[in-house]
Amino acid sequence: MVTSDAGQAGRVPTTEEHLLHVAAGSIRKQGVRRTTIEEVARVAGVSRGTVYRYWPTKEALVTAAFSRATAEFVQESLAVIDAEPTLIDRVVANARLVRTYVPDRALLGLDATEPETVALLLTRDLPFLMVPWIELWVPYVEQAQAAGEVRATLDPRRTAEWLLRILVSIVTTPAVTVDLDDPEDLSAFLRDHLVAGLR
């Protein structure tokens, strides 16, 4: 998982990567509304024109910063998911990661500074964040079908979207009968109910 703009160890980041790193830092520190092209350029040590060469508007830069954060989370998730033997184990492991990772890292801390922006990201703007996640889960659903864990008649892409929607709800929807911050309770909740919908 890339946690700085240095990218892979020993590799000098590209200008685009550096700008996205600076933009993400600005969003995390002061939110989307107060992040500006001018400030990103100043902190990155480049001209505004350099930023505009990559993104014609602030909105495009912000979208790119969130897309990068999503891609990083996908990579982090792959390591967790690949360590598990079955689809339900993979979903449970990823759900645990989602509870600890998404608010601060994938959403760049906006749940604290701009909760209304998070609401837009998780409703109006969710489709662009969902695509990489759906693509991530499709092969795991297909493996589970081949192993007989879930119905062979399921559409893998629709199933992947359903799994993703469950994971999103773990972050966004308050719980009534389950303690989502208790890894064991969250695990038991998913194991009791999730697989039944796929068999």
Residue 47 lies in a domain: no
State the pTM of this model. Answer: 0.73
pLDDT score recorded for residue 121? 66
pLDDT score recorded for residue 93? 93
Range of the domain at 92: 64-198
pLDDT score recorded for residue 68? 87
DSSP code per residue over 119-141? HHHTTTTHHHHHHHHHHHHHHHH
The count of structural domains within the chain is: 1
pLDDT score recorded for residue 2? 33
Residue 34 lies in a domain: no
Series of mean pLDDT values for 10-residue runs along the chain (199 residues):
47 92 91 92 97 95 87 87 95 88 65 69 65 91 95 96 88 88 92 83
pLDDT score recorded for residue 143? 96
pLDDT score recorded for residue 45? 97
Residue 143 lies in a domain: yes
The 10 Å Cβ neighbour count of residue 83 is: 10
CA distance 20 to 4: 10
pLDDT score recorded for residue 196? 75
Q: What CATH number does residue 173 fall under? A: 1.10.357.10
Residue 14 lies in a domain: no
